Structure 1
Amino acid sequence: MKVRDYTTERRQDFQVDVAYHPVVDLLLTLWVVGQQMCADPVDDLEIGDTYFEDIVGALDADTKTALEDLSSGEPWVSLLTLVPTIDDPGTVDDFIGYLSQHDSVDVRSRMLWLYQEFTPSETEIAAQAAAGDVDALESLLDGPAFAKAGKKHWRETLRFLLGKEPDETRDFLVGILEGTQRAAFASFEREFRPYLEADYAAKKAMANRLSPTRLVEIASNGISIEDRQMDVPILLMPSMVARPWVVLAESGSVYIMCYPVSDRTLASDPDAPPGWLVKLHKALGDEKRLKILRRLAVGDATLIELSTELDTAKSTLHHHMMLLRAAGLIRVHVGDDKRYSLRDETLPEAATYLNHYIHPSTETEERP
């Protein structure tokens, strides 16, 4: 299962809306590139490595150097939280123009608060750091809030970016966005937009007839948030670049879920088997994944529990869980303790849809 969660843990009841914006895929492109540079790669992306190689290869020397100086992809995730504050659906250039005029202290604050929940005293220090106080920044980065394992590269990125004057921080990010859009992403913006529009329209229609929980699970292909009470609305935004990943980010007013554009939206050959059906049978064609499903049929489990019981490395399990979720076979319960469970309804559906594809005259309902 592939989910990258940059949110905090407090939740209550929730509402769900759907939007789309082409800048989401530019931000997620730079996120992937940044994670590769800090040796924390985003693997198993369906768009393929060539896409990112072409993007980076087209950049001028200054933009490449600036990306290398960042040493992580998290700044671009923090900018996802700005997308709901502008007109939808605008263009990438609209977003860049908006960012260039946006309050630079707010931009810095969004980075500090990315998947972070501060104590009252830390909140005051974070506000000072966002405003440009270097001593406050060092105090915060050296404190318990950033002491968790896996945050080394993010601390160094914040130290680099927030060590600048506030306007310089914002303008540095704007320069990378402008350079990438101009040299490499503009053609992809045009290519991706029809698919984003189509998937947005499909999910918007679903929102009129499905519960928020069910809509989130269908859009994300298996993410369950029933275990996390929400205190802000959820905003679903489709992505072409991050498929099959789901990327979560949160500001103070909205919980953003960047979900993969569906296989049905991408389908172009009426004679080809549904992408979901192909993924499902590919996922089933592996002994280890079948053992995972058999274990989850007994009850839900964490990744650590599965790793121990199946004697499999967590890194290997991540790959298997991603394929199983992409095939619609498992559910991921996002909460204080991420757990996995079996989607019991999928296998009976699979037989029906396989029969319908092989014998097209067979009647069946269209799968969401």
Structure 2
Amino acid sequence: MKLLNITNRKRESYRVSFRHSILFECALGIAAITNKPLHDSMEKSKVYWSNLRENLSPELQAALDYVEKHNTWKTLLQLCHYHHCDDLQEFLSFIEELEESQLKYYSLPYLGKGLQEMRRQASEGDKEWCRDLMEATKEHNFFPDYIQFVCESDTAKLKVHLKTVMTKWYEEFVQPSELEIYKMLETDVASKQEMGKKLTSEQLVEWATGGIDYRAEPNVQEVLLIPQQIYRPWNIEADMEGSKIFYYPVADESIGSKDRYTPDYFLVAKYKALGDEARLRIVKHLAEKECTLQELTGLLDLGKSTIHHHLKILRAAKLVDSKDGVYTLRKQALAFMEDDLQRYLDR
């Protein structure tokens, strides 16, 4: 289908901003240690998380059990966005001073402009609106139960829990290496901002997150990028009023313990992925047009299982995407490789 554009309207974009905080790292750490199904796929091993939890104080272990049951890490992250600070005591005071409806409103997830009134009414104790909010999120893996918990929770008890788990996690896990963590986050943001001078907003988001191709959505004016180490290699996506949020994994080069000769994992993976004739042929075909596995099998003198194996390597290196059985080349990721290599050489 051909399209004749007779408008003068440019495609909508968004601005990109950064924020880093020890408090975000605390909240994400609490989320990470209680997200057991993901422990096998995190940078730190399943054994690491298990041993860490066993060596925490009984009080913190009990608080983390509560987090795991009710997903109150989400509450902590939401509150971090409504009160921007790096000081734990200031954050705890903010929680203590919140009125009941404020705490519940800030805790409930943002579900889009059209559901804001429902969110407000639910936070003020309207049970029918709470049920409607739960129904609106019934396809989500934990939002309905989380919404019910927030709406029905005793505010005083919730405040005690939030302050306890945040304080104890900070004292037992974060505080011993707080300066190193803060420097790492600060270094990573500085490098991303410097790279942002050369890129569009979309390119910057894709580069910072290691492959997320995020396009403008209605009512989203800003993409907020927040660096984190604790959840590596995962990106965590969230929504707030007017903003899309990505808690992205810090680059290897930002971690002080890495020597300057150690290349970034994905830099190595990309060059390894391209260091094979068959995979280069696949890349060439995908550069010309998107293809299904069946189409690639017809184009190459290779078996379907072999091509699938090569595609898996290209996808793991974040050079190829797949959706509904159709493979596409991430051309921007290829374009970034030269800059990423030069950054490593200049380190």
Same fold (TM over 0.5): yes
**Is the 1:67–1:176 contact (alpha carbons within 8 Å) kept by the matching residues of 2?**
yes
**Is the 1:12–1:230 contact (alpha carbons within 8 Å) kept by the matching residues of 2?**
no
* Secondary structure of 2:41's aligned partner: coil
Amino acid at match of 1:243: R
- Name the structure 2 match of 1:21: 21
* Bigger CA radius of gyration: 2
2:268 is matched with which residue: 265, 278, 281? 278
Identity over aligned pairs, percent: 23
**Is the 1:126–1:140 contact (alpha carbons within 8 Å) kept by the matching residues of 2?**
yes
**Is the 2:273–2:279 contact (alpha carbons within 8 Å) kept by the matching residues of 1?**
yes
* Secondary structure of 2:153's aligned partner: coil
Query: Structure 1's 172 and 79: CA in aligned 2 closer, same or farther, altered over 3 A?
Result: same
Deviation of 1:284 after TM superposition, in Å, equals 6.2
* Secondary structure of 1:255's aligned partner: strand
2:124 is matched with which residue: 131, 148, 163? 131
Flag structure 2 segments of 5+ consecutive residues without an equivalent.
1-10, 298-303
- Name the structure 1 match of 2:56: 59
1:225 aligns with 2:193: no
**Is the 2:40–2:46 contact (alpha carbons within 8 Å) kept by the matching residues of 1?**
no
Query: Structure 1's 256 and 70: CA in aligned 2 closer, same or farther, altered over 3 A?
Result: same
1:28-47 paired onto structure 2 within 5 Å: 28-36=28-36, 40-41=37-38, 43-47=40-44
Amino acid at match of 1:49: K
Query: Structure 1's 202 and 255: CA in aligned 2 closer, same or farther, altered over 3 A?
Result: same
Which moves more between the two structures, 173-182 or 68-77? Answer: 68-77
| Aligned alpha-carbon RMSD (Å) | 4.4
1:147 aligns with 2:147: no
1:324 is matched with which residue: 299, 317, 321? 317
Deviation of 1:13 after TM superposition, in Å, equals 2.9
1:347-362 paired onto structure 2 within 5 Å: none
- Name the structure 2 match of 1:68: 65
Flag structure 1 segments of 5+ consecutive residues without an equivalent.
1-10, 357-363
* Secondary structure of 1:223's aligned partner: coil
1:198 aligns with 2:187: yes
**Is the 2:82–2:106 contact (alpha carbons within 8 Å) kept by the matching residues of 1?**
no
Q: Distance in 1 between matches of 2:193 and 2:39?
A: 28
**Is the 1:263–1:276 contact (alpha carbons within 8 Å) kept by the matching residues of 2?**
no
- Name the structure 1 match of 2:232: 243
Amino acid at match of 2:226: M
1:80 aligns with 2:84: no
Amino acid at match of 2:23: V
1:108 aligns with 2:108: no
Q: Distance in 1 between matches of 2:281 and 2:41?
A: 21
Amino acid at match of 1:252: E
Q: Distance in 1 between matches of 2:250 and 2:144?
A: 32
Superposed CA deviations along residues 330-363 of structure 1, whole A, max 9, x for unmatched, are 4699xxx9x974233656876x799x8xxxxxxx
- TM-score when normalising by structure 1: 0.69
Q: Which has the higher contact order (CA 8 A, sep 6+)?
A: 1
1:343 is matched with which residue: 326, 330, 336? 330
1:269 aligns with 2:256: no
Query: Structure 1's 163 and 84: CA in aligned 2 closer, same or farther, altered over 3 A?
Result: closer
Query: Structure 1's 63 and 118: CA in aligned 2 closer, same or farther, altered over 3 A?
Result: farther
